[in-house]
A and B are shown apart, each in its own frame.
Chain A
Amino acid sequence: MPSIELPAPDAPVLARRNEIVRDLQSLIGAQAVIADDDGRRAFETDALTAYRRMPLAVVLPSTTEEVAKVLKYCKANGIKVVARGAGTSLSGGALPSEDAIVIGVSKMNKVLEIDYENRFARVEAGITNLAISEAVGRGGFFYAPDPSSQIACTLAGNIAMNSGGAHCLKYGVTVNNVLGVKIVLIDGEIVEIGGPFLEPEGYDLLALIVGSEGQFGIVTEATVRILRAAEGARPMMIGFESSAKAGMCVARIIGSGIIPVAIEFMDRPAIKVCEEFAKAGYPLDVEALLIIEVEGSEEEISDRLAYISSIAEELSPQAIVVSSSPAQSARIWKGRKAAFGAVGRISDYYCMDGTIPLTHLPHVLEKISEICARHGLKVANIFHAGDGNLHPLVMYDANKPGETDKAEEAGAEILKLCVSVGGCLTGEHGVGIEKRDLMRVQFSDTDLAVQLRIKAIFDPDWLLNTGKVFPLDAVAAAMERRATELQRAAGTAAAA
């Protein structure tokens, strides 16, 4: 059994289920409310499939106003809410609870405005990540963050988790590419923050909302920065006999003054699995493979790839392959982007997401092998090398008693290792429920209290995405502290 504790559902709310469903139906129409068992089951988990909970009900609003009505109702009735985009969270960010209503934004997926001259697009937040780039592609533009799940994941989910992707080495992550949001607060108030300007006004509320894991409100629209695509792009592959050499190569490339668009790393097990799946032409006799992509005109690309090759040559690589056609480039990326799915075909796996300072790479990879071996588990390593974001895929068999626990234990050890070398628990997947209980590895109680006070500004009753991001006891302590402070303030006011 998976071991993360989920809060017990609120019995009085469960008892009122029929009444709540009726209320929701009258608020936004029966067709937008899913209450039957089969319908709800489709929403009982996300991409962290080891955890499942049937939600109280699911609503799929079509407008911001409908979202506002539902939230206002939930606030008034003390009902918990879990916001959901496409349900691709790997950290359990969209996992429901039995006493919570899931608000799915997937119906709100329209492009509202594209402005190439001012370089922004305004979209509804349920649009998929890839659909934004497709919509602006006609004008030669793109939306930069490109998580591997971009075909399915929504911008709303990207905003909640501050998602990255392979190409964020050059273009940044979600927070660097969102200029404004329309967010519905838990009391139903609709607030516009930011807009088609490059600078926030007043406090940077947007920076706080991006990455708040659905705990501040529900974002229904966003203004995103769109960028003109480069004239061309081409990847190359460099294979090494050790991950230490691959790591050294990355450091030397960046140290030399070149920032490629992407530098991806795969170890031998990952290369094998991805090659079998995608037939990308990856060299199979190497311990570590780098996929490096650069952009520009034909001549600029050749120049830069030649320069990178010359850096790599000093480290005696076992293979250097420069893509020679768009078809080959597509295959190289297909293999990398399908990595999770490819591993999923051969095994259950637990996908980790720690980030480390690059200099510690060889040491960390060695330790990861040790940790997994000690738990009797195999591991494949895939990661965004340019920015130190590791994705060890810890493989296990969910049908073998105890293996899931072992995978979780190995995963926790890996994340603690990342923090101990100066890194962090999660680079782009978010904390969710998965890393909730590890937060104290990275943060002091005060650090957590500072964050929890911000949560209280947006959602003092803790109705939005409860039970996630923070250790449960830290939340309980914060709520108690807040109650005392409020009491004291009320006392002072009365005395005055």
Chain B
Amino acid sequence: MDEILKPATEWELKSMISALAERQIPAEIIGAGSKRGVGRPVSAPIALTTAGMRGISLYEPSELVMSARAGTPLSQIEAELASRGQMLPFEPIDLGPALGAPAGIQTIGAVFATNMSGARRIALGSARDYLLGLRAVNGHGEFFKSGGRVMKNVTGYDVARGLSGSWGTLAVMSEVTFKVLPLPDDVATLIFPGLTDDLAVELMCMAVGLPFEVSGTVHLPEGLARRLKQAELRSEKKPLTAIRIENFTRSISYRKGRLKEALVAFGEPIELNLEKSLQFWSDMRRLSVLPYDATHLWRISTSPKMAPKLVDDIRRHMPVEAFYDWSGGLVWLETPASADAGTADIRRAVAIHGGHATLIRADHSVRGMVDVFQPQSPATERLTRGLKDAFDPLHLFNPGRMYASM
């Protein structure tokens, strides 16, 4: 990549995109670049980063709302929120370390552009659920806004949420506005050792079906539990299934007791206090058990109860390590390096059990050969193409990143 455009203002962003449109020059769209390796390789002579547009433009803690320029580092946003006792409820995953980039550099724009939600998704919703509005420039070189700063807003179509998860292929965001929530007073984690994947999913589904507002459920089979940073957990040398509750301290002690009673059939859990809980869930957020290496990494969305069977089906074809989040509804699957990333076997298993899969980590050459995102039905493909053409008719933004012909 020779040249990187770095607009500092909305006006510069619009001018630069208009110039690209006029000359029909496609561009790779990035924030901090930590997720550049995700998607099909983008062939573009130029990159455009939002990283020059930074800063928090609005923060009203009593209204639970913040606006920030798209290139603002997530770390800055989270520090500012924490200083007022608040947080991003959806606990965005940091893919940086798993992709060989440093942790903590991603931008807030990229968080929404990729709709990356962490463990708390099961209780409080995803990144897109908290996106209230945005300002952006499309491939026509037009500046537009959608949504606003209020939580309830059905004025016109929900273009802002429609852009979430589009990986910079429809428009370049200049500012995002999102809802935030108070940080919990206290956190506790119950860790059940020794469960099979099936039992673990059963436990996690049961836990979120109880009225105690469980806010995180992950399962680490033994191979991944051995990679944990926390020595006392690693030394269990067993699969570990973690259940998180967050609330006021008095509620926590009550709910912990009730959960242990209800889940007694699954054995005696190890309890993590506030500090250790924060460490554990922060490691989960950074996918620290799936470090950057030569293996491939898939992200599979499915129904929780289907997850173990789906993983078993794939395991018949290749050795895998599966990290179960969202009670099993999200599987991060580490697979051996191969020319096609095991695509055929993985897609077949997903088709049988329901869901969709995205290849998150693989070499450039592999990503150029296989479908990185879930292949679409003809009808959704047509709608997808319609959206791409409506927002970016010249295919200037990240051409080919999600789908080969778009």
Contacts and interface: CB of A to CB of B under 8 A. Distances in A.
Given A197-B301, A201-B356, A451 B165 contact: no
B303 A118 contact: yes
Given A303-B248, A427-B154, A203 B149 contact: no
Contact of A257 (B85, B153, B166): B85
A207 B156 contact: no
Contacts of A355: 150-153
Interface residues of B, number: 80
A207 B128 contact: yes
Contact of A207 (B64, B164, B205): B164
B164 A424 contact: no
Contact of B158 (A210, A256, A443): A210
Given A202-B402, A204-B162, A196 B144 contact: no
A93 B238 CA distance: 57
A200 B374 CA distance: 11
Contacts of A300: 248, 250-251, 254
A470 B155 CA distance: 10
A228 interface: yes
Contacts of A212: 157
Query: For B126, B158, B356, B373, which residue has the most chain A Cβ atoms within 10 angstroms?
Result: B158
Interface stretch (B27-35, B43-51, B181-189, B224-232): B181-189
A414 to B, nearest CB: 14
Query: For A204, A229, A358, which residue has the most chain B Cβ atoms within 10 angstroms?
Result: A204
Given A197-B303, A257-B85, A446-B143, A427 B354 contact: no
Interface in A373-393: 384, 387-389
A108 B307 CA distance: 32
Contacts of B153: 355, 424, 426-427
B65 A357 contact: yes
B79 interface: no
B304 interface: yes
Given A196-B354, A199-B115, A231-B211, A457 B386 contact: yes
Interface string A185-196: 100010111011
6 contacts: A118-B305, A140-B211, A202-B384, A259-B181, A389-B151, A425-B155
Interface of A: 115-120, 140-141, 161-162, 164, 168, 172-173, 175-176, 185, 189, 191-193, 195-205, 207-208, 210-212, 228-231, 251-252, 254-259, 296-297, 299-300, 303, 355-359, 384, 387-389, 422-431, 435, 439, 442-444, 446-451, 453-458, 469-470
Given A199-B126, A203-B387, A426-B155, 8 more contacts: A192-B377, A202-B376, A228-B209, A254-B63, A359-B60, A389-B150, A453-B391, A457-B390
Q: Sorted from nearest, which 6 A-B pairs have the closest CB atoms?
A: A457-B386, A207-B161, A427-B152, A257-B182, A201-B356, A251-B62
Interface of B: 60-65, 85, 115, 117, 121-122, 125-126, 128-129, 138, 142-146, 148-159, 161-166, 170, 181-183, 185, 202, 205-206, 208-211, 213, 248, 250-251, 254, 301-305, 326, 329-330, 354-356, 373-374, 376-377, 379-380, 383-384, 386-387, 390-391, 402
